[in-house]
């Protein structure tokens, strides 16, 4: 009986946390679900590695040891060495910071921009919608790599240029989804009721429309993590993103591809963290979506 009462109490609390401003409260509830707890654990672990990776690394990630090229794992090099004899474990640990920084900041920025523009486009006046749609489609039609090369030629290579490129090329995807969902919700009668009692468009968009559609975005954003890391590695491969000898998961993977016939370890060492982060973010995103949607919340 006590359990039933406490569960009911919790559901009402989740109900209150059903808006964006209460995400931290929802985050605490994430740990209630096994999937969410697992996802959160992985994500937090990688963020810690991102922050403290440089101190955790057993070797200098850029120290070349030509004698021990492409060595398999051993007690000195737990994940083996790459084609220049650098310790892969150290490079993965140090590279985490760059990869996560690029992935998280560009996805957050792209999603935020996408939400703003998508809401404006879906809820705002029609002329604004037309202009924004034209912008989305124009930006989407840029070939990512060509656009990236052009931008880097203008502004010079740096992590921030890479983030800017990724944000520009991916925000229209979020914006498009937000726009469609907004349009579907804007014609429902509870929104009409809000309008008729004089709620402002901004309030309606952020308080009533956004919480109804934000769940799907969590999933989408989580699944974009590997995509973004691969764009970063693609640009780095062309010498446009992270410049050698600095490490990122993308550069480790790219270097690994070239020597995959000689040693599988660089690819494995670069790929596993990528897979793990994706899984972590997807689980976390899925749990967050379930928490924000009362229908899914009660099914579990």
Footprint of other proteins (CB under 8 A)? 8, 11-12, 15-16, 18, 125, 188-190, 192-193, 195-198, 208, 211-212, 292-295, 298
Nearest distance in Å: CB 169, other proteins: 31
CB of 74 to other proteins, least distance (A): 54
Nearer residue to other proteins within complex by CB, 14 or 235 = 14
Query: What's the half-sphere exposure (Cβ side, CA atoms, 13 Å) at 103?
Result: 28
Distance of closest approach, residue 7 Cβ to other proteins, in angstroms: 11
Return d(Cα 121, Cα 128) in angstroms, integer: 6
Q: Nearer Cβ to other proteins, position 134 or 192?
A: 192
* Closest to other proteins by CB, 7 or 160: 7
CB of 293 to other proteins, least distance (A): 6
What minimum distance in Å lies between the beta carbon of 115 and other proteins?
16
CB contact set of 201 (below 8 Å; sequence gap of 6+): 123, 124
Question: Toward other proteins, which CB reaches closer, 16 or 44?
Answer: 16
Which residue, 9 or 75, is less far from other proteins as judged by CB?
9
Of the candidates 130, 111, 134, which has an alpha carbon nearest to the alpha carbon of residue 122? 130
Task: List beta partners, residue 284.
Answer: none
């Amino acid at each position: 009986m006590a359990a039933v009462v406490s569960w009911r109490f919790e559901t009402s609390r989740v109900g209150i946390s059903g808006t964006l401003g209460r995400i931290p409260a929802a985050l605490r509830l994430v740990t209630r679900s096994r999937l969410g707890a697992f996802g959160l654990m992985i994500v937090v672990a990688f963020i810690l590695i991102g922050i403290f990776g440089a101190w955790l690394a057993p070797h200098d990630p850029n120290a070349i040891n030509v004698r021990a090229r492409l060595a398999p794992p051993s007690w000195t090099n737990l994940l083996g060495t790459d084609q220049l004899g650098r310790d892969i474990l150290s490079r993965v640990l140090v590279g985490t910071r760059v990869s996560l920084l690029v992935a998280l900041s560009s996805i957050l920025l792209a999603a935020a921009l996408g939400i703003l523009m998508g809401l404006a486009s879906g809820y705002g006046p029609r002329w604004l919608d037309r202009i924004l749609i034209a912008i989305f489609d124009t930006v989407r039609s840029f070939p990512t790599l060509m656009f990236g090369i052009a931008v880097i030629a203008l502004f010079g290579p740096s992590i921030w240029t890479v983030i800017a490129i990724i944000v520009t090329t991916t925000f229209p995807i979020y914006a498009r989804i937000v726009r469609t969902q907004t349009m579907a919700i804007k014609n429902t009668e509870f929104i009409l009721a809000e309008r008729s009692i004089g709620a402002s468009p901004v309030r309606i968009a952020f308080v009533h429309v956004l919480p109804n559609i934000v769940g799907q975005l969590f999933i989408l954003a989580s699944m974009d993590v590997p995509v973004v890391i691969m764009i970063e590695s693609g640009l780095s491969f062309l010498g446009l993103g992270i410049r050698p000898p600095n490490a990122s998961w993308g550069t480790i993977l790219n270097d690994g591809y070239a020597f995959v016939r000689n040693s599988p370890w660089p690819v494995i060492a670069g790929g596993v963290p990528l897979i793990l982060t994706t899984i972590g973010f997807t689980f976390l995103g899925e749990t967050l979506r379930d928490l924000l949607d009362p229908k899914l919340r009660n099914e579990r």
